[in-house]
Chains A and B, each alone.
Chain A
């Protein structure tokens, strides 16, 4: 069965620390990959996406992610986090099986200490 695994459920960092959130998926076919973010009290919103081309993609607010096909991974990174990055982060994989079906990971709650 298709699945998405996020390695950390809770992460606590100090401001200016570097961030890396792991994401692995299990599906042998073509996928589109996403990171969504949910800030406290707000909707899920798109952080960045990959569907073809350069495997290193850049998103909003200084986030980037690297797609490594051989490892079925799509890890999220940010060199220096800010207090305002406190949020829940979801990795998602969209499968094109005649329509788009999206599978989400369980999410990682990031808390950044000021």
Chain B
């Protein structure tokens, strides 16, 4: 049973560029959430996708956008990268019918913006 997978593992981009990160949820899960974890901080909720739609969003600018595909996998896109976007980006999957909101996390993508 594959857990949550993310690609790529590491990425280096230049200010102003655009980046796409990918996530495959745990088998059987239908909901994907994305988080940004800056160094020394806890994960910050970016948004959540279910049925290919954004259901919840945290306090992130429109430069952060996402997509969910029919197979439940998801992408996180960040436009016009800033130095402050350097962080570990985590994907978490869950079941929308799950009572507790328990999530399973992937290993993350380390994004460095220079």
Interface residues of A in 70-107 (CB under 8 A from B): 90, 92, 94, 96-107
Min Cβ gap A25→B in Å is: 12
If A98-B56, A99-B55, A102-B33 touch, whether A45 touches B94 (CB-CB below 8 Å) is no
- Whether, in the assembled complex, A18 has its beta carbon less than 8 Å from a beta carbon of chain B, the answer is no
Closest to A107 in B: B42
B residues contacting the other copy or chain, number (CB 8 A): 30
Give the docked Cα–Cα distance between A6 and B42 (Å).
10
Say which residue of A98, A104, A105 sits within 8 Å of B55 (CB atoms). A98
Interface size class of A (residues with CB under 8 A): 20 to 34
User: Hey, which chain A residues are within 8 Å of B99, CB to CB?
Assistant: 51
A106 touches B42 (CB 8 A): yes
Min Cβ gap B58→A in Å is: 7
Min Cβ gap A46→B in Å is: 6
1/0 per residue B54-97: CB within 8 Å of A? 01101000000000000000000000000000000010101010
Give the docked Cα–Cα distance between A32 and B101 (Å).
7
Report which A residues bind B (CB closer than 8 A).
Answer: 4, 6, 32, 34, 36, 43-46, 49, 51, 90, 92, 94, 96-107
A-B contacts, 12 listed (Cβ < 8 Å): A4-B42, A32-B100, A43-B3, A43-B108, A49-B100, A99-B56, A100-B56, A102-B33, A103-B45, A104-B43, A105-B42, A107-B41
Known A-B contacts: A43-B107, A46-B103. Give 19 more (CB < 8 A).
A4-B42, A44-B43, A44-B90, A44-B105, A46-B104, A49-B100, A51-B99, A90-B42, A90-B43, A92-B42, A98-B56, A99-B50, A99-B56, A100-B48, A100-B56, A101-B56, A101-B58, A102-B33, A104-B43
